[in-house]
Structure 1
Amino acid sequence: MQRIDHLLPWSCPGTERHLSVFRFGSGPCKAYIQASLHADELPGMRVAVELKRRLRELEAQGRLTGVIELVPLANPIGLGQMLQASHQGRFELASGKNFNRDFFALAEAIAPALEGCLGPDGPTNVRLIRTAMLAALDALPPAASELQGLQHLLLRHACDADLVLDLHCDFDAVVHLYLLPQQWPQLRSLAARLQAEAVLTMEDSGGGSFDENCALPWLHLSRRFPEAAIPLACLAVTVELGGMADTERPRAEASAEQILACLAEQGLIAGDWPSAPEPCCEATPFAGTQYAYAPHAGVVSFLQPVGARVKLGDPLFEVIDPLDDRHSIVCAATDGVLYARERMRFAQPGLWLAKVAGRTPIRQGRLLSD
């Protein structure tokens, strides 16, 4: 195991923050796994603890057939953002920016340098494109903020990987995944292993999230250079490991083993691993997800548990104004799975309270909320 510590730029005088990357194994293939980019989402960090322990064992046994980079704590900035004993890990307090938005767009940056260089040989094109990606990131001007420096480091470690797993969680949720629709056949076994209850697919959610900025460049380049053989060489997926409280040790150990089995499927770990279970949820378009909002302020009572299969018109939650007795029931706008609920039980303007994954697109434009 090799530990790589990067000093983040723009630390306040007298303080320093580091990004730590643990590198295991060697070989032609590479996987990159990071946890807690939203620093208050701790189930991924707990799973990363188990992954680090198991990868040490597998490396000592000589079973790693590729490179696996693990970042157990992808956001040292957000990890330290405590306000009156409440963790503020989703947005950088200095700028108000979401830590998982607006990553550097690689395809746009490298396309001019690739003109006339790509041909009919896919593996050669992959090598050229990855070299161009690394060169473009290395040529960026010095980071203008600590957050920008962190984002550039994360993307540089991930951009040449064959598989990228970004471990997150939602407030109160079942396991669910976000990924490109073109990559669903290859990632179905991961969903099955993790017993995901929803898989949301989209080509571009509009937020410049980390996983999309790893996978989308290959799709964009294949469309820009249709005469060249450009595979979708980076499988990238956001894995939402349930809810924020799901940090129990048995669950973390099981999730780590399921992820390792997926790495073995991708040719990164040798040996015998259990086959993926056959039952698996269906993938649905992210544009088919209902974000359910309250029509007014008030205390919230949920009427369905996470994981419930609901029909159009089924009640999701009620909102009651304690002063003037306004009472509203918010219902499902689509058939689907109630895969996430807000943890706060008082309705706020403009903040979703429940998410339902449906089959039929009902939204357009930017799909991600901040």
Structure 2
Amino acid sequence: MSTPSPVNRETHELPSSGGKSYPPIEMWRFGEPGARPKAYIQAGLHADELPGMLVLRRLREALEEKAARGEILGEIVLVPVCNPIGLSQTKGGYLVGRVDEATDRNFNRGYPDLCALVQEKVSGKLGDDADENVRIIRKAMRKKVAAIEPADAYETMQKALFLESCDSDIVLDVHADNEAQLHLYTGTVNWPDAKDLAAELDARAVLLSDESGGEPFDESNGHAWVKLGAAFPDKPILQACLSATVELRSNNSVSAEDARRDASALLRFLTRRGLVAGEEGAVPRLLCDAHPLRAMQQLRSPAEGLIVYKARLGDTVRTGDVLAEIVPPLGGEPSEVLAETDGVLFARHDQRWAWEGKVIGKVAGREVLEARKGKLLTD
């Protein structure tokens, strides 16, 4: 009989803030600490984006069965509920989990620039062995992140999550959009390496960006290696972290069937990547192409009023198509919202009221849009 693989549940306490106390962050660690490859997967960073929490519970249960049979080959860290602060924020009967109510900071922005943190520390230590350079850089990353002194509960949470992810081979930050098909954000350098992840999850859009702006969690982990390669062009530096934001459809679309399917897809991905023993099967056919994030049109309302969509999620649209009308309820002519690119409408807004400038949908296009510059994500 096989020796069971180690499984450890760890807790990270958060300090009280503004008179409020929070539950600890709970992490499950599968496999021997320090084993490679290492995968870090979290859900609920935007705490009102709910389906990922159930998916990671199901994945945890599957990994516990694998561990009991001694089938964990690498190290896997799961954080099914990574943001207890956001889960504590309610207003009008709803979770308000996207931003910290005390400071108005987006929970998925402002993570440390790992390259800037370690560049001076690793300078003069890197050589001609690419694998050794990765080891040196990862050690420096953990040391520098561990030395960060957080000022409050928000920064304590950021540090706890980032310390565990910063030296990982794979980092997946599981989110959900407002009303959407499943899609991924990942670095340009990670494509087509991430193709198996997108195919297993049945993604309907993949958006690629070197720097989307704002230092979101997954990008801060993965893009550091691109920056380090540019900082030390005479040294071999691998892209040692495949990071991605996985958007599991719609915020409130929580179902047992989807959770089982998504957890199984992630387990097959981890198996294929050598973290879990077993048969992963053939990679499914990917039903979309990957395109630059700068080719994604954010549909912005030109006026205030009711949103009446003229296109459904998943519809292929052409430049000039009317995708929605903004209808003033007290009278007057509706305003049209037009497609500015050919592509697929993969996200809409579930609250059918708009104001001028509000993002009410997203089209995954193919050609870069010149107007898409600066911060590319929705705040």
**Gaps (5+ residues) in structure 2?**
1-6
Query: Are the equivalent residues in 2 in contact too, given 1:319–1:327 (CA < 8 A)?
Result: yes
Q: Distance in 2 between matches of 1:368 and 1:14?
A: 30
TM-score by length of 2: 0.95
Percent identity over the alignment is: 40
Matched residue of 1:353: which SS?
Answer: strand
Aligned 8 A contact 2:198 2:286 in 1: no
Corresponding residue number in structure 2 for 1:8:
14
Contact 2:22 2:88 in 1 (8 A): no
Task: Give the corresponding residue for 2:313.
Answer: 306
1:48 to 56, 70, 84: 56
Q: 1:175 aligns with which of 182, 194, 216?
A: 182
Q: Return structure 1 stretches of 4+ with deviation > 6 angstroms.
A: none
Does residue 350 of the first structure (1) align with residue 357 of the second (2)?
A: yes
**1:128 alignment partner in structure 2:** 136
The 1:132/1:290 distance shift into structure 2, 3 A limit, reads: same
- 8 Å Cα contact 1:286-1:367 kept in structure 2: yes
What code does the residue aligned with 2:38 have? Answer: K
Q: Distance in 2 between matches of 1:280 and 1:326?
A: 39
CA distance in 2 between counterparts of 1:330 and 1:102 reads: 32
By how many angstroms is 1:348 displaced? 2.0
Deviation of residue 9 (structure 1)?
2.7
Q: Is the 8 A contact 1:284 1:358 kept in 2?
A: yes
- Post-superposition offset of 1:261: 0.7
Report the counterpart of residue 231 of structure 1 in structure 2. Answer: 238
Deviation of 1:146 after TM superposition, in Å, equals: 1.2
Q: Identify the residue that residue 113 of structure 1 maps to in structure 2.
A: 121
Residues 183-222 of structure 1 correspond to what in structure 2 (within 5 A)? 183-222=190-229
Preserved contact between residue 173 and residue 243 of structure 1 (Cα < 8 Å) = yes
Query: 1:148 and 2:170 equivalent?
Result: no
Query: Quick one: which amino acid aligns to residue 329 of structure 1?
Result: E
Give 1:246 shift.
2.1
Say whether residues 1:18 and 2:12 are aligned partners: no
Q: 1:90: which partner in 2? A: 98
Contact in 1 for aligned 2:51/2:176 (Cα 8 Å): yes
- What per-residue deviation string (whole Å, max 9, x for no partner) do you get for residues 67-104 of structure 1? 10000001100011111201101011001111000111
Note the C-alpha offset of 1:13: 5.1
Aligned counterpart for 2:292 among listed residues 272, 276, 285? 285
One-letter amino acid matched to 1:274: G
The aligned amino acid for 2:116 is E
- Structure 2 distance, partners of 1:232, 1:280, is 26
Shift of 1:349: 3.0
199 and 263 in structure 1: CA distance in 2 versus 1, 3 angstrom threshold:
same
User: Does the 8 Å CA contact 1:188/1:280 hold for their aligned counterparts?
Assistant: no
> Matched residue pairs, number?
369
State the one-letter code of the partner of 1:44. G
Amino acid at match of 2:199: A
Question: TM-score, normalized by length of structure 1?
Answer: 0.97
Report what 1:251 is aligned to.
Answer: 258
| 1:369 aligned partner | 378
Q: Aligned with 1:186: secondary structure?
A: coil
Which 5+ residue runs of structure 1 have no aligned equivalent? none
- 1 CA distance for matches of 2:318 and 2:20? 56
Give 3-state SS (helix, strand or coil) of 2:144's partner.
helix
RMSD (CA atoms): 1.2
